[in-house]
Structure formats: C-alpha cells, structure tokens
Chains A and B, each alone.
Chain A
Amino acid sequence: MSAADFEAFLARIYVDPEARAKFLADPRGEAQRAGLSEAECVALENIDRTGLELAATSFARKWAKQKDNHGKRVWLTRWLQRLDIKLKS
C-alpha cells in the first residue's frame, strides 16, 4: 500500500463519523482491512484519540460553515437577480 492510501484512510476517519467509530472500536483491525502496512497499523493503534475527536469536530464545523456560506451566496445571488429584473421591468 502507498502513502496515498494512508492519507485516504486518515481523510476517511477525519470526516466520516461511522468510519471513525468503527476505527476507534478496532484500530488495528480496520487498518489491516484497509490493507495498510504493519508500521501504519502500529501508528494508527497509537493514534492521538483526543486529537482525533477534536480535529474531527473542528473539520465538521468547517464543513457546516462552508455549506452555510454557500447557501447564503446562492440566496444573495438569486435575490440580486430578482431585484435586477424588477428594476429593469
């Protein structure tokens, strides 16, 4: 397996609550099932659990904020478009 696979595994447990819960219940088993190397499995067995919990919460908040900002931009764009149509009519 490659370093890219290890990063993919990290990305999954950082953002997917279900994958993270399965991983925390059996870190070595999940790492082995993902085909990671022995050194990577050991690293994941010893993962900074407090850090994982806090980082995952922080990433989730960032995603929620980005979605909220995107929603506001779409609403504002549509509102400006409607205003433009009214001004022209």
Chain B
Amino acid sequence: MNDRFGLGWRPELSAGILTHLDQLDVVEVIADDYFSAPRQKIQALPTLATQVPVVLHGVTLGLASAVPVDRKRLENIARLVDAIQPEFWSEHLSFVRGGGIEIGHLAAPPRTASTIEGAANNLTAARAIVGTLPLVENVATLIDPPGNQYDEPTWIAEILSASGCDLLLDLHNLHANAVNFSFDPLAYLARLPSERIATVHLAGGRWIRGQSFTDRRLLDDHLHDVPEAVYELLIAVGERTTRPLTVILERDGHFPPIEQLLDQLTRARHALQIGRDRRAQHLNEQAA
C-alpha cells in the first residue's frame, strides 16, 4: 500500500524541506498565503511541484455555513489550483464570518440540518468555480457549538454524503475535541465512513486554562510535537481504512530542527503500518 507522508510547507521550514525531499512524499501548501503574493512567489510553487507532489490547503473559505461562500475567495483558490495543478485541494468544515463580521479563524458551526445543507451548497459552488471538489477537514473547537442537532461524526458523514467529498481527517483536532468534550475518539472513528478518509493531518497542541483553575481545554496550536494519543489514533485509522492515505504533519511555529519533524513522520509511518498489519491479521484470522 502506497501511503504517503509529508510536511506542511512553511517559509521557516523551506530550507529543511528542500534538503530532505528524499524523505518526503508530498508537501502541503497553505493556499491563503499566496492569495495576494507577488507573482514571483506564486511562480515558485509550480517549480516546487516538479520536485515533490504538492497539495493545496485552504483556511478561510468557511464552507460549513448557512451563508454562501465568498465567490472571490473561491476564485483565488481556482487561480492557484490552475497555476500549481496540485494533486488535490482541501478546506475546513468551519464558518469564519457571520453578519459581516470576520472571526479571524476557523470556528465550529452549529451542527444542524442548515449547516449540512449550506456546506453541500457551498461545496457545489466550490466545484463549479475551482473545477474539483476539495477534501473537507474536521475542525478543533474550544467551545461546544451551541444549537447542535447532530453529534460530530453524524454531521460530517451527512456532509460527505450530500457533497460527494472525501475527508481530510485531522487526528489532533479529533483528539482535542475528544478530551475537551469527553467522548471516545475510537467510537467517533468507528462512525465515520472509513472509505471516505483520504488524507490525515497530524499536529500538536497545549493545555490552556479558563478563569477557573479546573476549567482547561486542549488547544490545537500546531506549535508542539505530535502527542502519543494521536499516533494511537493513526494506528486505529490504519486498522479501519483500505485505501492509501496521505499523512501530513502540520507545524506553524516554535519550529524545531527539521530532523525532529522527520522523526515524527517516521513515527507516523510506523503507527500507520501497525494499523495496516493488524487489519491484515484480522482478515487472515477471519479467513482461516
């Protein structure tokens, strides 16, 4: 099985990535970093894509919303997709604005029939303008969105079904939501349509406290190493999925030496292989 492992492209990591391309199968570029970039900076991306497969990741579309997605932002994605020809592009199941107010980051929308319908409509618009459907990603949230009608795996499965999209499963987002809102991440995984999982994100985070000493939540900050619990979830993903996966490690700051990130990718390769081996063993036992 040709699982692939790669890193998120960040300017601070570019030298390390370029000197270790032999250890990377894929690089993920943040689309929004290039929306208003000079032409030379954008022209560097097709050059990068000749050296390593590139995928594109958006962060500001706000697809999971009852509000129609901003056409201009979709056109920005379309221009980049046209210039880079990435293997695929992806976005989050989040809302990022409301009533003319920009939230400034990914917010988890209320999990309702309205946001399922809104996401499906926005994804149809995305396909019409960009030319292809994105993979859609589960988001981490510090607040349990008010007004939920569905639990998260049901809501995601409904959007995948309504839109025809595949899933970019962020395992640190899943881990953070599981510890913040006290649910079993393995039961969550079991309820996702495993055949739709195409890509996996890995990252780290830290605990933050509220006003009360006992109130704490895990923040998905992409500034820390991948915790053990996320590798355990990757093993479980390997047990459940049959298609080749693309696994991307995201790091947005507090950059360690590149070797430390490559070591985490090695751990990820090992974890996914453990899951693959377990699945093969189960199948052999069933066949025997």
Contacts and interface: CB of A to CB of B under 8 A. Distances in A.
Given A7-B65, A8-B99, 16 more contacts: A3-B110, A4-B65, A6-B147, A7-B110, A8-B98, A11-B97, A11-B103, A11-B107, A15-B102, A51-B180, A52-B143, A53-B210, A54-B208, A54-B215, A55-B107, A63-B104
Contacts of B125: none
**What is the predominant secondary structure among interface residues of chain A facing chain B?**
helix
Nearest to B108: A55
B161 interface: no
A7 B217 contact: no
A59 B146 contact: no
B172 to A, nearest CB: 15
Interface of B is mostly: loop
B255 to A, nearest CB: 15
Interface residues of B, number: 36
B114 to A, nearest CB: 3
B114 A51 contact: no
A14 B106 CA distance: 11
13 contacts: A5-B99, A6-B110, A7-B65, A10-B145, A40-B147, A44-B146, A47-B143, A50-B210, A50-B212, A55-B143, A58-B105, A58-B208, A63-B105
A58 B220 CA distance: 10
Contacts of B101: 8, 11-12, 15-16
B182 to A, nearest CB: 12
B141 interface: yes
Contact-residue bracket for chain A: 20 to 34
A76 B44 CA distance: 19
Interface of A: 2-12, 14-16, 39-40, 43-44, 46-48, 50-55, 57-59, 62-63, 66
A84 to B, nearest CB: 13
B104 A62 contact: yes
B208 A10 contact: no
Nearest to B112: A3
Nearest to A53: B210
Interface of B: 65-67, 95, 97-105, 107, 109-110, 112, 114-115, 118, 141-148, 180, 208, 210-212, 215, 217, 219
Contacts of A6: 66, 110, 147
Contacts, number: 107
Given A3-B114, A7-B65, A58-B219, A15 B144 contact: no
A55 B99 contact: no
Contacts of A10: 98, 107, 110, 145-146
Contacts of A8: 98-101
B99 A43 contact: no
A55 B145 CA distance: 11
B104 A51 contact: no
A54 B210 contact: yes
B98 A12 contact: yes
Contacts of B104: 15, 59, 62-63, 66
Nearest to B66: A3
Given A54-B208, A55-B107, A7 B66 contact: yes
Contact of A9 (B66, B99, B112, B212): B99
